[in-house]
Amino acid sequence: MGFGGSFVGAIPLGPINMSILKASAQRDIQSAKQMCFGAATVELLFGSVALLIGAMFIHYLDAHPIIRGIIGGILVLIGLVVLLLKPKSSDKESYWAKFPAYFRGIIVALLNPQAIPYWVLIFTLHPLTQHQEAQHYITLALFLIGVFCGKYAILRSYSVIGMKYSDRLMGHQRKLNAILGIIFIFIGLMQVRFLF
């Protein structure tokens, strides 16, 4: 269930998927792999948080919509910056590209506030927290390993797609930035709507 939930949850294009596509399209396969690993680590964290305190966390956000508004505002700003970025020429390396790829994967994955509610929904559909015997802990460990592996598998698939179609994708660098920016803005606006 962990593998399937994580795999299916990461199929829709989101910021991390687009970042990995972009890195692999630039023939930076090592960075793409490290970003996949970083994002899968965050997915493991989100799955664990949702398992332990997910319902309480969502209730807290519902009770304090200003926090969602702040998160949304930050995401909209990031989206606008990415949307308005002009593609860099290959001889100039951006400041963002100087960060280790693993940490870029972590940062972009952390900017996905929908992941915890997604996992809370998964746990609602299949409550793993109802049993307390020793077998249950093994089940939870296997579930969390599946979460990590599922996220990594789908993101590596995006990386392979990016490598395969790199020539086509590199010709559309501005469009890739626009899609990534629009995704960030959309996610941000979904958070800001809780203010009204």
Distance CA 103, CA 95 (A): 13
DSSP 96: G
Residue 120 makes CB contacts below 8 A (sequence gap 6+) with 50, 54, 55, 58
Q: Is the pLDDT of residue 140 over 60?
A: yes
> Would you state the pLDDT for residue 91?
41
Burial of 125 (0-12, 13-18, 19+ CB in 10 A): exposed
Most confident of 34-38, 44-48, 88-92, 106-110: 34-38
Check pLDDT > 80 for residue 142.
yes
Over the stretch 73-104, which tens digit does the pLDDT of each residue have? Answer: 887 887 888 778 765 554 445 656 677 888 88
Determine the Cα–Cα distance for residues 118 and 114; give it in Å rounded to an integer. Answer: 6
Residues 6+ apart with CB under 8 A from 62: 194
Q: Which of 46-55, 79-88, 150-159, 179-188 has the highest mean pLDDT?
A: 150-159
Does the structure show a pLDDT above 70 at 124? no
Query: Hey, CA dihedral for 45, 51, 56, 59, is it positive or negative?
Result: positive
The two three-digit tokens of residue 110, written as one number: 């952390």
| pTM score above 0.75 | no
Select the more confidently predicted residue: 53 or 153: 153
CA dihedral 141, 142, 148, 153 (to 10 degrees): 170
Lowest mean pLDDT segment, chosen from 21-25, 54-58, 108-112: 54-58
CA 192 and chain centroid, separation = 19
Is the predicted pLDDT of residue 70 greater than 60, yes or no? yes
What is the pLDDT averaged over residues 13-29?
79
How would residue 25 be classed by pLDDT, with cut points 50, 70 and 90?
confident
Residue 137: count other Cβ atoms within 10 Å of its Cβ.
11
pLDDT in tens, 165-195: 776 666 666 776 777 778 778 877 877 777 7
Question: Residue 49 class from Cβ within 10 Å (0-12 exposed, 13-18 middle, 19+ buried)?
Answer: middle
